[in-house]
Amino acid sequence: MEVTHSQKRSQMEALSRRCRVVVMVYDCLIYLYDVGVGFFYPRLYLNPFISFCKVVLTNSLNKVVTYSPAYTLVPTYECFNRCAYCNFRADPGESPWLSLSAAAAELRRLQSQGICEILILSGEVHPQSPRRQAWFQLIYDLCELALSLGFLPHTNVGPLSWAEMRSLKKVNVSMGLMLEQLTPQLLVHKHAPSKLPAARLQQLAMAGELGIPFTTGLLLGIGETEHDWWETLEAIAQLHQSWGHIQEVILQPYSSGTQEAWAAVSFELNQLPQVIATARQILPTAIAIQIPPNLVLEPSLLLACLEAGARDLGGIGPKDEVNPDYPHLHYQKLVEILEPAGWQLEPRLPVYPHYDNWLPEKLQIAVEQWRTQFQHQLIFQI
Ligand code: SF4
């Protein structure tokens, strides 16, 4: 979106004011250090210390909302399920698979653009299909490729076997699978065998056993009852009590699209803040509630969702592959909505800090580099 000259000027003035405050604090600490009072904290630690203070301060004001600068790679749109609300799938054999060379070219183009997360999002090849192994290998190779080019992969490709999950843990900083709804009665899933709630619950438990930081969520408005929402959230909370691995829960309103078979009325968005508020009571506080801002539509509703307890906007990138009719809001547009209401929009990694030490060493090093980069960004933005 076009930013006017006066908007730019007021942003620069706000930034300048914030920078002056940081410089003053920094100067005070240097002074204390020089007169000997600061011998407890060598200069080397001053920058991280200031950044830490800023994070503590803004979090204590509870006005921080995060997003993940992300880009989605789709190995294939083909899927053996037929969810009635799907705006993504193609019939098996009807969607060419992404080649590694095409993916490499795409990823190289994204380097140095501030994108951190590569979301690997795929339609599913049936577990019994002779093509399953090739499909899985492509997903694994795409993750490795993304890592080798400096990105952090997060894979969400439907239910996987134990061996597949264990293998992908080596090349993913986190993974995801929407639980959607716990009730098995939904007509929209009549032709979607992998949407069996029991299989998906099992997948979430597997992720816990394997120590994989995990994202899950609910799809709201696909024929379930209100009671189903609370039951689904309770189930997620219980899984988290056992394994402590759920880092965020997405509350995704069903939003009708132009490519789906169902074409039902979208979820009644005015209900979303209340759903968030109740979810906040059910879920452990360590789990962030995520809402997709492009599906919320109204700025006032987005702010109401934050007031109700949502604290994350998920991956923001050029295209929402699952809801292609609802383009992501540009970063600047989000800031214009959030800042006047006192909210600070901050980038985050696809893995939350308290899970860093769950990761294989190679991934920990990659994550650490991104954390340092984001930390410097935060210091500059104060
Ligand atoms: S929603 Fe996912 S599982 Fe269902 S048909 Fe679409 S791609 Fe397949």
Q: What string of DSSP letters covers 242-264?
A: HH--EEEEEEEE----SS-S---
The whole-number average pLDDT for the span 148-166 is: 98
- State how far the alpha carbon of 107 is from the alpha carbons of 102, 111, 262, in Å: 9, 7, 34
Whole-number percent of the chain with pLDDT over 70:
83
d(CA 218, ligand 1 centre) in Å: 14
**Is residue 180 within 8 Å of 219, Cβ to Cβ?**
yes
* Residue showing tokens 């599913």: 124
Residue nearest to atom 4 of ligand 1 (CA): 83
The whole-number average pLDDT for the span 271-281 is: 98
pLDDT band at residue 315 using 50, 70 and 90 as cut-offs = very high
Q: Given this model, what pLDDT does residue 16 score?
A: 47
Measured from the Cα of 85, ligand 1's closest atom is 1
- Asked if the model's pLDDT at residue 1 lies above 50, the reply is no
Greatest CA separation for the chain: 73
Q: Given this model, what pLDDT does residue 295 score?
A: 97
The secondary structure of residue 124, as a DSSP letter, is -
Residue nearest to atom 3 of ligand 1 (CA): 81
- Asked if the model's pLDDT at residue 299 lies above 70, the reply is yes
Q: Given this model, what pLDDT does residue 61 score?
A: 59
- Asked if the model's pLDDT at residue 21 lies above 80, the reply is no
The whole-number average pLDDT for the span 338-356 is: 97
d(CA 10, ligand 1 centre) in Å: 45
Q: Which amino acid is at 173?
A: V
pTM: 0.84
Distance (Å, rounded) from C-alpha 275 to C-alpha 308? 9
pLDDT band at residue 5 using 50, 70 and 90 as cut-offs = very low
pLDDT band at residue 12 using 50, 70 and 90 as cut-offs = very low
pLDDT in tens, 56-107: 555 445 799 999 999 999 999 999 999 999 999 999 999 999 999 999 999 9
d(CA 123, ligand 1 centre) in Å: 6
Whole-number percent of the chain with pLDDT over 90:
79
Choice among 16-30, 179-193, 300-314 with the minimum mean pLDDT: 16-30
pLDDT band at residue 18 using 50, 70 and 90 as cut-offs = low
List all residues 6 or more positions away from 175 whose beta carbon is below 8 Å from its beta carbon: 154, 155, 156, 165, 168, 169, 207, 212, 213, 214, 215
Instruction: Give the pocket of ligand 1 (CB within 6 Å).
Output: 79, 81-83, 86, 88-89, 123-124, 158, 192
- Asked if the model's pLDDT at residue 3 lies above 50, the reply is no
Measured from the Cα of 123, ligand 1's closest atom is 7
Cα 248 from chain centroid? 8
Q: Given this model, what pLDDT does residue 36 score?
A: 58
Residue nearest to atom 2 of ligand 1 (CA): 123
- Asked if the model's pLDDT at residue 351 lies above 90, the reply is yes
- Asked if the model's pLDDT at residue 201 lies above 80, the reply is yes
The average confidence (pLDDT) of the chain is: 89
Distance (Å, rounded) from C-alpha 153 to C-alpha 350? 8
- Asked if the model's pLDDT at residue 366 lies above 50, the reply is yes
Query: Who wins on pLDDT, 273 or 379?
Result: 273
Q: Given this model, what pLDDT does residue 266 score?
A: 96
Distance (Å, rounded) from C-alpha 364 to C-alpha 355? 10
Measured from the Cα of 87, ligand 1's closest atom is 6
pLDDT band at residue 111 using 50, 70 and 90 as cut-offs = very high
Residue nearest to atom 1 of ligand 1 (CA): 86
Q: Given this model, what pLDDT does residue 10 score?
A: 47
In the chain, the N- to C-terminal Cα span, in Å, equals 24
Choice among 21-25, 204-208, 302-306 with the minimum mean pLDDT: 21-25
Query: Who wins on pLDDT, 148 or 59?
Result: 148
Q: What string of DSSP letters covers 98-111?
A: PPHHHHHHHHHHHT
Tokens of 30: 């240097």
Tokens of 296: 């919320």
pLDDT in tens, 252-265: 999 999 999 998 99
Nearest to 329 by CA among 337, 321, 111: 337
d(CA 83, ligand 1 centre) in Å: 5
Choice among 11-25, 121-135, 270-284 with the minimum mean pLDDT: 11-25
Q: Given this model, what pLDDT does residue 376 score?
A: 75
Find the helix or strand (DSSP H, E) in which 344 lies.
strand 344-347
- Asked if the model's pLDDT at residue 166 lies above 70, the reply is yes
pLDDT band at residue 374 using 50, 70 and 90 as cut-offs = confident
Query: Who wins on pLDDT, 197 or 375?
Result: 197
